[in-house]
Structure 1
Amino acid sequence: MRLQATEERSSVSPLELFFDLVFVFALTGVTELMAGDGGSARNLVRGLLAMAVLWWCWIGYAWLGNVIRADEGFARVSLFFAMGAMFVVAITIPEAFEDIAGGLSGPVVFAVGYFFVRLMHLVTFWLVSADDPQLRRQLLRFVPSMATGTTLLLVASQLTGAAQTAMWVAALVGDYLGTLFGGEGWRLNSPSHFAERHGLIVIIALGESIVSIGVGVANLPVSWPIILGSMLGLAVSGLLWWAYFDTTTLAAERALAAATGERQIRLARGGYSFLHLPLVIGIVLLSVGLKKVLNYAGDGSSHSLTEPLHGTPLVALFAGPAVYLLGLAAFKAYVTATMGPVNALRVATAAVLLLLIPLAGQLPALAALGLLAAVLLALVTYETLGFADHREEIRHGAHPA
């Protein structure tokens, strides 16, 4: 049961990837929650709140796995218990706010599952910090915000309507702010492992967006609209992947590795723990929009092919990539301490996507998806060709000959 420290050049372990599969299942539940009731604004807000809770569960284990190897000793047992609790949380997402008649209370089960995921994280960190007084003190500063968040979620499980939503918000604010202002006494043994872990969760979230495309038309006869919609949806996901992995993640990882002491902890916490949340939220919103577009494409009627998107699915389709690009620009600017022309271009593109929502609402759903893909393709193409020297330097360490 001996714990083993994560080494500087460690890579993400298979067990951590296994844990992340439970997280992606939870993302699927969030997408379904947002898309429920025709994609109402209420469900959108609830999905965002559930997403923020799930993210904070995952973040704790990303930090833990960077201090000790997740697949060695007691950490392995702890992670499996946490996976079980996380899976219970995931299957309870449809009932996280409103209990379905019969069986256990969904909101209570969700809150208790969340508490258990956080408890296993604390217990394991407590064992890890046995010979590290500074880490132990940091952990003790962290406990009040964690306890406050879980307690308020339990209180929220007994409420309904606006009071319940307000209690969820209070729980998240307390938890997030407690972490933000709780000090820089954490440990980061491997910047490369930390960056890799967050990059993989972005891939997993993008994978969920692809799953949402396939699931919506899995039982329908293949048609040209389905093929076209699937390819456009895949192109959008691929372009978002390109925007993150082509140069941004490389530049950020090097900046994180070059930092030391408390500054490195602040960069990891702010750039990865906080500013990766908008990336995942943006992808989940995109999934909601893609799901609706493919429903139209798979309907088969001429009316469905000419019908425009409207309401929450339309907003989610364009606002999702916009939130993603804004989060990406903020992440790179924060970690590398420079805004740069690439980030400014991404902010401008995000603004364009938001301004295009009224126009997209007048177009057929597939045409709106095509418009989104075209804007993202223009952005990635311009970045790749217009900043070729900068890109070459980041990717290969030197200007082209």
Structure 2
Amino acid sequence: MTQESAGFRVSTLELFFDLVFVFTVMQLSETFADDFSAGGLLDVVLILLVLWWMYSGYAWLTNAVGPTSSGRRTLLLAGMAGFLVMALAIPEAFGDYGWIFGTAYVVVNVVHSVLFLHGGPGAVRMMRTLGPLNLLAAGLVLAGGLLPEPYRHLCWIAAPLVQIGGGYLHAIEMHAITAAHFVERHALVMIIAIGESIIAIGLGFRDVRLDGGTILVAVLGLGIAYYLWWCYFAGDDKRSEEVLAHVTDPRRRSRLALNAWGYAHLPMLLGIVVMAVGIKKTVGHAFEPLHWGPAFALSGGVALYLLGHAGFLRLLRLPGIPYRLVTAAAVLATAPLGHMLAVAQLVAIPLIMAAGAIAEDLPRVRRLGMAAAIGDFGRGQ
């Protein structure tokens, strides 16, 4: 553990902020479940892109400007209110509530820029480029909420393109990344998102009579969520912190933080949303064939999560990538099982994920066992 890794940790106010943000993930699951179509998925992707960019922006913000004063905490509360209003507007973000979503998004961006100005002269210089680009993206989202089609979707597509461009146009090396805080902040939002997926699945049980089939779906859904947790938290979160902490060049560290915790986490979050919808579609139909759409949502959501984590490991040059790729392919191949019988796919996915976890752990267990044996032999001598 490096000296930096023992630095400051995430505050309870930041955790509170994350809880508000992750409500948007649950709302995305509900929205996609209600509009289960290619167009509905596109809308979910566009909303998630702009939401995740600004959530990441706040993670970078509090990494540099802690909520240590009443003024900063009040501004952070205003940002939380913006995220809450956006979450409430998500079901109609491309409809009647588009202007509400857009207005709240502008508020979130303005608060972010104002708070970053408390980060010192370097942050002020950096925000001269990044701040206007973020506000331009927010303006495009607001314009999309006010304009008719096709301009509405064109504005929504342009907004994340502006944000991605902003990641390369501003002086990214001016960010001061504290690895311990930065990694923990993203790990917390991931565990909350996985937990929110269970809540989203649970909401699918409203007005459904509990019987053996529905209880089995609930338990198997929990098993799938558990292996999503295992994939991210079975040591790779700690190893990733060490990797980031050992990158000393400011530009390389900031670029790695953006790529690994920004872009690579997007498919994981989207996978959680899609997987939750796939499981919800099996509620009440466990012993019936699934349509191809829900079957591919269930397997595809898990596979997308695993591929996102494989990309995360690749960026950090950590082991485990082949296991993620093979497991993702095997999980994706379960869709025909669901098309024949929903419960068959629900059983197969956690079994495949468990097999992948065991296969990945075996070499480590053998190494530890051998090391212990050698140690015992040495003490015996």
Q: Distance in 2 between matches of 1:399 and 1:172?
A: 50
1:268 to 257, 262, 276: 257
Q: What SS does structure 2 have at the residue aligned with 1:125? A: helix
| Counterpart mapping for 1:176-187 below 5 A | 176-187=164-175
1:320 to 278, 289, 301: 301
2:119 to 114, 122, 128: 128
**2:274 and 2:300 in contact (8 A); partners too:** yes
**2:108 aligned partner:** 117
**1:20 aligned partner:** 18
**1:34 aligned partner:** 32
**1:145 and 1:179 in contact (8 A); partners too:** no
Q: Distance in 1 between matches of 2:135 and 2:366?
A: 49
TM-score, normalised to structure 1, is: 0.86
**Residue 342 (structure 2) pairs with residue 365 (structure 1):** yes
Residues 1:160 and 1:354: Cα distance change in structure 2 (over 3 Å): farther
TM-score, normalised to structure 2, is: 0.90
1:170 to 145, 155, 158: 158
Q: Distance in 2 between matches of 1:183 and 1:399?
A: 47
Residues 1:364 and 1:163: Cα distance change in structure 2 (over 3 Å): farther
Q: CA deviation at 1:323?
A: 1.2
Q: What SS does structure 2 have at the residue aligned with 1:294? A: coil
Q: Distance in 1 between matches of 2:197 and 2:291?
A: 18
**2:275 and 2:298 in contact (8 A); partners too:** yes
Q: CA deviation at 1:210?
A: 0.8
**1:53 and 1:172 in contact (8 A); partners too:** yes
Residues 1:159 and 1:387: Cα distance change in structure 2 (over 3 Å): farther
Q: Distance in 2 between matches of 1:232 and 1:72?
A: 45
2:130 to 124, 142, 166: 142
Q: Distance in 2 between matches of 1:181 and 1:326?
A: 28
**1:97 and 1:160 in contact (8 A); partners too:** no
**1:309 and 1:365 in contact (8 A); partners too:** no
- Mark the runs of 5 or more structure 1 residues left unpaired by the alignment: 1-5, 100-105, 298-304
Q: What SS does structure 2 have at the residue aligned with 1:116? A: helix
1:383 to 360, 367, 371: 360
Question: CA RMSD of the aligned region, Å?
Answer: 2.2
| Counterpart mapping for 1:179-218 below 5 A | 179-218=167-206
Q: CA deviation at 1:85?
A: 1.2
Q: Distance in 2 between matches of 1:161 and 1:382?
A: 50
Q: CA deviation at 1:382?
A: 1.0
**1:8 and 1:189 in contact (8 A); partners too:** no
| Counterpart mapping for 1:278-317 below 5 A | 278-297=267-286, 305-311=287-293, 313-317=294-298
Q: CA deviation at 1:69?
A: 2.0
**2:322 aligned partner:** 344
Q: Distance in 1 between matches of 2:5 and 2:65?
A: 8
Q: Distance in 2 between matches of 1:107 and 1:209?
A: 25
Q: Distance in 1 between matches of 2:310 and 2:79?
A: 32
Q: Distance in 2 between matches of 1:71 and 1:384?
A: 41
**1:8 and 1:190 in contact (8 A); partners too:** no
1:168-192 per-residue CA deviation (whole Å, 9 max, x = no partner) reads: 1111111122113423233335211
Q: Distance in 2 between matches of 1:386 and 1:293?
A: 36
Q: Distance in 2 between matches of 1:84 and 1:163?
A: 28
Spell out structure 1 runs of 4+ moving beyond 4 A.
398-401
**2:88 aligned partner:** 91
**2:201 and 2:277 in contact (8 A); partners too:** no
Q: CA deviation at 1:345?
A: 2.2
Q: CA deviation at 1:389?
A: 5.4
Q: What SS does structure 2 have at the residue aligned with 1:344? A: helix
| Counterpart mapping for 1:326-337 below 5 A | 326-335=307-316, 337=317
1:188-228 per-residue CA deviation (whole Å, 9 max, x = no partner) reads: 35211111110011101100111122222244442111221
Residues 1:255 and 1:350: Cα distance change in structure 2 (over 3 Å): same
Q: CA deviation at 1:328?
A: 0.7
**1:205 and 1:280 in contact (8 A); partners too:** yes
Q: What SS does structure 2 have at the residue aligned with 1:306? A: coil
Greater CA deviation, 218-227 or 263-272?
218-227
**Residue 351 (structure 2) pairs with residue 374 (structure 1):** yes
Q: CA deviation at 1:295?
A: 4.1
Alignment coverage as a number of residue pairs: 369
AA matched with 2:184: E
- Mark the runs of 5 or more structure 2 residues left unpaired by the alignment: 376-381
AA matched with 2:255: R
1:240 to 194, 205, 228: 228
Q: CA deviation at 1:343?
A: 0.4
Q: Distance in 2 between matches of 1:86 and 1:66?
A: 19
Residues 1:379 and 1:121: Cα distance change in structure 2 (over 3 Å): same
